[in-house]
Amino acid sequence: MVEPILDTYIAEENLPYEFCPGCSHGKVLGALSNSLKQQGLDPSEVVIVTDIGCVGLSDKYFVTHAFHGLHGRAITYASGIKMQNPELKVIVLIGDGGCGIGGHHLLNAARLNTDITVLVFNNFNFGMTGGQHSVTTPLDSITATTTLGSTDAPMDIAGTAKVNGGGFVARATAFDKDLPDLVEKGMKHDGFSLIDIWELCTAYYVIRNDFGRKEMMGYMDSMNMESGILQETERPSFQTSYKGIQEQASKQKPMSGLVLDTKFSSDLEKPVRIVLAGAAGQKVVSAGNLLASAATLSGLWTSRRADFPITIQTGFSVAEIVISPEPVLYSGIIKPDVAALIAPEGKAKIARLTKTMEESDTIYFADGLGDVDSPANQLPLEFPESAKKEVHKNISALTAGYLTKQLNLFPFEALQEAVRQIQKPKIAEINLGILAHFE
């Protein structure tokens, strides 16, 4: 036996309970108080998180910390509290109504195995709002919203927690003498614990369905939903698992932006807006990054946006690069100065843009992509003879090299330096090989 700190955890000055006569809620609160007492917990190390409903009135009856949130969401707050301060014992008091609207949170907290204890005040209907049916309402029951009998299969709350990996799962009734012990076991379990406590709503469910304690026990039997501990696993709690993640992560370097110091120079006088239009798999965005990085290394200002379908491995892939001697304010491109078309998907995607281009603008196109509906000057992408066999696999990098040579916005060395600085060594090696064709 632990030395008790308090005789009761109930705030007696707030008694009597507001619950209806005969309502089981008060019984369960008493059992919880007794459990806290027998565990000898300091009231300041316990947080009681209440859901909404009659059960939600319970927070004010405790001398511990408390949190009274939104309908169905109690479990989410409890998890957050426990994650931030694992020293605290966090207990959720929630109705069958809350388990319905917040069912998603219940099964995910079980999966996460976050170290909280959930006590379900399961009285087969919504008490507070007038006895409407809930997810646990037995078949054929009369409620305010099933006046001719409920037709929905009742949800097994404990069973749901169990199959979703909840560490400690039990079923009980408000009348069980050993409820304080069961609560203690749940609380001491390192991981998610849930006790589905069956009880009576005397104002509604009991009256409408002639459903007393005896009938409830009979229903339990008929449903083969036995009481007692249903599951106890050794699976590590979220708190334990995450500590491991923190330990591993602490050895990694913190994030930092990519620093590209100016190494080259450029005499660009006004902004140039370039669009690379290709297809998924061609590494178009990465070529856009190279051009933007090379410009940055040359003391220019750039912006780079990417456009691709949500399913990134198919369809078009477009990179829009603005290169400017001054900070880029407007980063959009309504009319490109230069467009490079390297796949039919890209050509089609930017048709609206190429159409707006003027005679002084240039469209470079890969084999078979010429004849663009645009007044712009149209030139084939003419890669060096020696690079012909690279075109199939590495057309984006070749295009970056070609545009750098043609447009003369910054030195070719800046592009090579960009490859070295921003790409992974293996890829950089390949791309430097490709750029060597332009030497």
Ligand X SMILES: Cc1ncc(C[n+]2csc(CCOP(=O)(O)OP(=O)(O)O)c2C)c(N)n1
Could you list the residues that contact ligand SF4 (CB under 6 A)?
A: 19-20, 23, 25, 54, 123, 127-128, 201-204
Closest contact distance (angstroms) between CB of 367 and other proteins is 30
- Give which of ligand SF4, ligand X, other proteins, none residue 252 binds (C-beta under 5 to 8 Å, depending on kind): other proteins
Compare residues 208 and 393 and give the one whose CB is closer to ligand X: 208
* Smallest distance from ligand X to CB 407, Å: 59
State yes or no: residue 302 binds other proteins (CB under 8 A): yes
Residues 5-64 that bind other proteins (CB under 8 A): 14, 42-45, 47, 49, 57, 59-60, 63-64
Q: CB of 205: closest distance to ligand SF4 in angstroms? A: 7
Q: How far is the CB of 24 from ligand SF4 (least distance, A)?
A: 7
256 near other proteins (CB under 8 A): yes
Q: What's the min distance (Å) between Cβ of 74 and ligand X? A: 10
- Tell me the residue ranges of DSSP E strands in 200-291: 228-232, 272-279
Side-chain-side CA neighbours of 332 within 13 Å: the count stands at 3
Shortest spacing between CB 131 and ligand SF4, in angstroms:
7
Q: Confirm or reject binding of residue 334 to other proteins (CB under 8 A).
A: yes
CA 150/CA 124 separation, integer angstroms: 11
**Lookup: tokens for 160:** 């749901």
**Where is 133: in which H helix or E strand?**
none
CB atoms within 10 A of CB 25: 27
The nearer residue to other proteins, 39 or 302, going by C-beta atoms, is 302
CA-wise closest residue to 245 among 104, 83, 106: 83
Helices (H), 71-170: 74-84, 96-101, 103-112, 157-163
Q: Please name every residue paired with 119 in a beta bridge, in sequence order, or none if there are none.
A: 93, 195
Contact 353, 333 (CB under 8 A): yes
Dihedral of the CA atoms 120, 123, 128, 130 (nearest 10)? 150
Q: Contact positions toward ligand X, by CB under 6 A?
A: 51-55, 71, 95-98, 121, 123, 126-129, 134, 201
Helix, strand, coil percentages (3-state) for the chain, rounded to 5, are 40, 20, 40
- Contact pick of 6, 83, 155, 220 for other proteins (by CB under 8 A): 83
Single-letter amino acid, residue 26: G
Residue position matching structure tokens 């069912």: 103
Residues within the interface to other proteins (CB under 8 A): 14, 42-45, 47, 49, 57, 59-60, 63-70, 73, 76-85, 87-88, 104-105, 108, 242, 245-246, 248-250, 252, 254-261, 289, 292-293, 295-296, 300-306, 310, 328-332, 334, 422
